[in-house]
């Protein structure tokens, strides 16, 4: 496919707000794409070059892109800056400048993708200047409409307003049109095991989805717990259950591959967070010898990394644990806060896919494979049908400084996402007993400049929302309950993600429009006294007396609380 044709589809998508219409346009695009280019079409339509866990990004800031445009179109940087300030968008600026030069229309989607990927992978001395030069050369050879979209990719602002969820639905329609009849559930299940939407699209195109299985080095979408605070209700919905402690740590997936000594290669350890970002294993030096505690050649373990206070023989809080993710002062931080990895599930063993096995079968495999003790500690597990046992264990773990219990259906498979009543959590958050049953993870959508004392902070209050399908809907404004330090930190975080226009996926009442919009990237954990019905907030519900608990750097925006979960919390509150 010529890139100019692809750009025409992107133009249609940018001008379309209806979710159904966007889905139809994408399905037509995917149907038109052949099996060798559909992965590239999908990556570029999302403004990326690879799944996030591969870490392949162009990483050219707006200032660098202004230099790119200056070089590409032989214009002084100050002139380019004036045009950019006038329209506020790097893509529109590039399109305007491209009108005045002769360009080629022969570039295919594959050509552009290959060049952008090569530019992104150029590292080392002088790489920044080479990236500017190569990106300028690419833009110079593209038509104005193509330039508009390609110029936005390096700064991460393609602004088309859809995500993998819409793409999955569009792939279903495209497959149906080609006679495959692949269901959305089948595509979602495959994506949860191999969260590379380009790879999945190729399999859909070739009708090979059934070949998907876990792979070392590729993250798996995590299974999440729903909320219930009544042990009797848990037994009613789930039957016989396993009760495990809930730790307030950092969700870590450990991918281990043991190489034979004769190969001359050292064992491989890869680690991923709950939002499927890859972390450098050297950040956690404890894991470099994890093979001592594993009786298999290849495993994927689901764990919770918890910091230890060895002097007081207790676990540290989440904020101290998450500091271990820092790339600097690793030796000092690991000595100060050593980690213990609480292992609670196993997803792959020596090529054998465990995801479809029951909880009990996975637990038996886990106990065979992991040597319990040292840096790996298998979670306690109690099988019961008695609600009183759940209550007793919940209180026991709370007294130990943990977050209560996670209750798991013993015959359930590992189901990615928060699906059904397979896992439920029962926890109480410090300082919120007698209030809302659980905290809520919200996306910061925008903020208002401070007044009085808060002028110095840069933030007076922020607008927060939850996920509803592909969109974000507001549930609260937060302006109290933050320390001075939290206000300053929030300002530092938000000023980096300011966007001139309201993101396409935001639904906000006109009375709640903030001074500054921000991209959906910052997730915060909020506590509140209660949830109330609200005609003002677009979620239809609002938080009463919200307060910031912590920043959730371990979560992406699409992992925040969704509308269904908020409704469940509202019902729980009424039944307390």
Q: Are 503 and 545 contained in the same domain?
A: yes
Is residue 47 left, alpha or beta, with left meaning phi > 0 and alpha meaning psi from -120 to 50? left
Q: What distance lies between CA 488 and its chain's CA centroid?
A: 25
Share of the chain above pLDDT 70, in %: 92
Query: Longest C-alpha distance within the chain, in Å?
Result: 77
- Residue in 257, 302, 269, 293 with CA at minimum distance from that of residue 369: 293
Identify any residues that bridge with 382 across adjacent strands, giving them in sequence order. 243
Q: Are 401 and 276 contained in the same domain?
A: yes
Q: What distance lies between CA 150 and its chain's CA centroid?
A: 24
Residues 6+ apart with CB under 8 A from 535: none
Q: Are 412 and 459 contained in the same domain?
A: no
- Is residue 3 in some structural domain? no
Q: What is the model's pLDDT at position 434? A: 39
- Is residue 543 in some structural domain? yes
* Strand, helix or coil for residue 516: strand
**In the predicted model, is pLDDT for residue 326 greater than 50?**
yes
Tell me which of 155, 173, 203 is where a domain ends: 155
Burial label for 63, CB within 10 Å (0-12, 13-18, 19+), is exposed
DSSP state of 158: -
Q: Are 379 and 277 contained in the same domain?
A: yes
* Spatial distance between the Cα atoms of 432 and 404, rounded to a whole number of angstroms: 14
- Residue in 221, 285, 288, 293 with CA at minimum distance from that of residue 253: 221
Q: What angle do CA 545, 550, 553 make, to 5 degrees?
A: 135
For residue 448, give its domain range.
Answer: 440-575
Q: Are 110 and 230 contained in the same domain?
A: no
Span 491-517, pLDDT tens digits:
899 988 888 888 889 999 999 999 999
Q: Are 277 and 393 contained in the same domain?
A: yes
- Residue in 158, 60, 77 with CA at minimum distance from that of residue 116: 60
Taking residues 310-329, report their average pLDDT: 69
- Is residue 205 in some structural domain? no
Q: CA-based Rg of the chain, rounded to a whole angstrom?
A: 25
* Strand, helix or coil for residue 315: strand
Burial label for 101, CB within 10 Å (0-12, 13-18, 19+), is middle
Q: Are 187 and 171 in contact (CB under 8 A)?
A: yes
Identify any residues that bridge with 368 across adjacent strands, giving them in sequence order. none
Residue 99, H or E segment: none
* Spatial distance between the Cα atoms of 307 and 314, rounded to a whole number of angstroms: 9
User: Phi and psi at residue 223, in whole multiples of 5°?
Assistant: -80, 140
246 is a catalytic site residue: yes
User: Of the ranges 39-53, 255-269, 332-346, 486-500, which one carries the lowest mean pLDDT score?
Assistant: 255-269
Tally of domains in the chain: 3
Q: Considering the entire predicted model, what is its pTM? A: 0.80
User: Phi and psi at residue 362, in whole multiples of 5°?
Assistant: -65, -40
52: pLDDT confidence band, cut at 50, 70 and 90? confident
- Residue in 58, 60, 93, 95 with CA at minimum distance from that of residue 77: 93
- Is residue 94 in some structural domain? yes
CA distances from 434 to 430, 440, 526 (A): 11, 16, 16
* Spatial distance between the Cα atoms of 272 and 255, rounded to a whole number of angstroms: 8
- Residue in 83, 82, 86 with CA at minimum distance from that of residue 99: 83
Tell me which of 426, 449, 473 is where a domain ends: 426
* Spatial distance between the Cα atoms of 310 and 314, rounded to a whole number of angstroms: 7
**CATH classification of the domain holding 506:** 2.40.50.140
Higher pLDDT, 297 or 262: 297
Q: What distance lies between CA 497 and its chain's CA centroid?
A: 16
Share of the chain above pLDDT 90, in %: 58
Q: What distance lies between CA 336 and its chain's CA centroid?
A: 29
Instruction: Please give the torsion angle defined by the CA atoms of residues 464, 468, 471 and 475, in that order, rounded to the nearest 10 degrees.
Output: -20
Q: Are 512 and 556 contained in the same domain?
A: yes
Q: What is the model's pLDDT at position 507? A: 94
- Residue in 349, 369, 362, 351 with CA at minimum distance from that of residue 300: 349
- Is residue 101 in some structural domain? yes
User: Phi and psi at residue 244, in whole multiples of 5°?
Assistant: -125, 155
* Spatial distance between the Cα atoms of 438 and 114, rounded to a whole number of angstroms: 46
- Is residue 330 in some structural domain? yes
User: Phi and psi at residue 279, in whole multiples of 5°?
Assistant: -115, 145
Helix ranges, 416-539 (H): 484-494
Q: Are 269 and 321 contained in the same domain?
A: yes
What does 370-396 look like in DSSP terms, one character per residue? B--BTTEEEPP-EEES-HHHHHHHHHH
Taking residues 27-35, report their average pLDDT: 93
Q: Are 368 and 469 contained in the same domain?
A: no
CA distances from 350 to 219, 252, 256, 306, 539 (A): 16, 20, 10, 27, 45
| Cα torsion 101, 104, 107, 111: sign | negative
Other C-beta atoms closer than 10 Å to the C-beta of 480 total 10
- Is residue 209 in some structural domain? no
**CATH classification of the domain holding 373:** 3.30.470.30
Q: Are 374 and 452 contained in the same domain?
A: no
184: pLDDT confidence band, cut at 50, 70 and 90? confident
- Is residue 194 in some structural domain? no
Q: Are 448 and 417 contained in the same domain?
A: no
Length of the chain: 576
- Residue in 103, 120, 137 with CA at minimum distance from that of residue 3: 103
Q: Are 552 and 522 contained in the same domain?
A: yes
Tell me which of 356, 391, 426 is where a domain ends: 426
User: Of the ranges 82-91, 134-143, 183-192, 478-487, which one carries the lowest mean pLDDT score?
Assistant: 478-487
Span 247-276, pLDDT tens digits:
988 999 999 999 876 666 678 999 999 888
* Spatial distance between the Cα atoms of 100 and 158, rounded to a whole number of angstroms: 23
Span 405-456, pLDDT tens digits:
999 999 999 998 877 799 998 865 444 443 676 789 999 999 998 666 666 6
Q: What is the model's pLDDT at position 175? A: 87
Strand 376-378 relative to strand 339-349: parallel, antiparallel, unpaired?
parallel
- Beta-sheet strands, E only, within 263-318: 268-273, 278-279, 298-309, 314-315
Catalytic residue among 40, 140, 246, 467: 246
């Amino acid at each position: 496919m010529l890139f100019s044709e692809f750009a025409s589809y992107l133009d249609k998508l940018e001008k379309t707000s209806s979710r159904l219409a966007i889905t139809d346009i994408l399905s037509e695009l995917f149907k038109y794409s052949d099996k060798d280019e559909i992965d590239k079409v999908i990556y570029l339509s999302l403004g990326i070059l690879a799944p996030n866990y591969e870490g392949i990004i162009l990483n050219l800031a707006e200032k660098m892109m202004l230099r790119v445009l200056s070089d590409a179109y032989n214009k002084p940087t100050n002139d380019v800056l004036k045009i950019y300030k006038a329209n506020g968008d790097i893509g529109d600026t590039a399109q305007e400048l491209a009108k005045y030069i002769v360009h080629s229309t022969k570039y295919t989607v594959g050509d552009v993708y290959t060049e952008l990927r090569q530019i992104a992978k150029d590292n080392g001395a002088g790489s920044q200047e080479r990236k500017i030069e190569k990106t300028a050369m690419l833009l110079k050879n593209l038509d104005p409409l193509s330039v508009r979209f390609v110029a936005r990719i390096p700064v991460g602002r393609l602004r088309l307003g859809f995500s993998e969820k819409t793409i999955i639905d569009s792939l279903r329609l495209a497959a149906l049109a080609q006679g495959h009849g692949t269901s959305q559930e089948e595509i979602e299940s495959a994506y949860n095991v191999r969260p590379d939407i380009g790879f999945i699209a190729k399999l859909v195109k070739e009708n090979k989805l059934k070949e998907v299985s876990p792979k070392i080095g590729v993250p798996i979408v995590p299974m999440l717990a729903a909320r219930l605070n009544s042990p009797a209700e848990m037994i009613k919905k789930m039957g016989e259950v396993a009760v495990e402690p809930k730790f307030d740590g950092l969700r870590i997936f450990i991918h281990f591959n043991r190489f034979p000594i004769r190969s001359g290669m050292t064992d491989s350890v890869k680690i991923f967070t709950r939002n499927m970002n890859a972390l450098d294993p050297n950040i956690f030096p404890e894991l470099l010898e994890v093979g001592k505690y594993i009786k298999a050649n290849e495993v994927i373990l689901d764990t919770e990394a918890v910091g230890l206070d060895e002097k007081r023989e207790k676990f540290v809080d989440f904020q101290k644990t998450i500091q271990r993710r820092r790339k600097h002062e690793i030796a000092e931080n690991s000595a100060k806060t050593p980690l213990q990895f609480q292992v609670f599930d196993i997803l792959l063993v020596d090529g054998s896919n465990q995801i479809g096995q029951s909880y009990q079968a996975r637990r038996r495999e886990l106990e065979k494979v992991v040597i319990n003790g040292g840096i790996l500690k298998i979670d306690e597990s109690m099988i019961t049908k008695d609600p009183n046992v759940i209550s007793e264990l919940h209180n026991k773990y709370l007294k130990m400084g943990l977050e209560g219990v996670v209750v798991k259906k013993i015959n359930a498979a590992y189901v990615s996402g928060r699906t059904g009543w397979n896992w439920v959590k029962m926890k109480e958050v410090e300082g919120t007993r007698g209030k809302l049953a659980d905290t809520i993870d919200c996306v910061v959508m925008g903020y208002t400049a401070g007044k009085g004392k808060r002028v110095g902070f840069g933030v007076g209050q922020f607008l927060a929302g939850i996920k509803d399908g592909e969109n974000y809907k507001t549930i609260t404004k937060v302006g109290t309950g933050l320390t001075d330090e939290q206000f300053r930190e929030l300002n530092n975080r938000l000023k980096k993600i300011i966007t001139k226009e309201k993101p396409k996926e935001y639904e906000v009442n006109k009375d709640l429009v903030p001074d500054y919009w921000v991209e959906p990237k910052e997730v915060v954990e909020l506590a509140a006294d209660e949830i109330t019905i609200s005609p003002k907030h677009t979620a239809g519900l609002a938080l009463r007396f919200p307060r910031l608990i912590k920043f959730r750097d371990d979560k992406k925006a699409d992992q925040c609380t969704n509308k269904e979960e908020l409704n469940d919390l509202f019902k729980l509150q009424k039944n307390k």
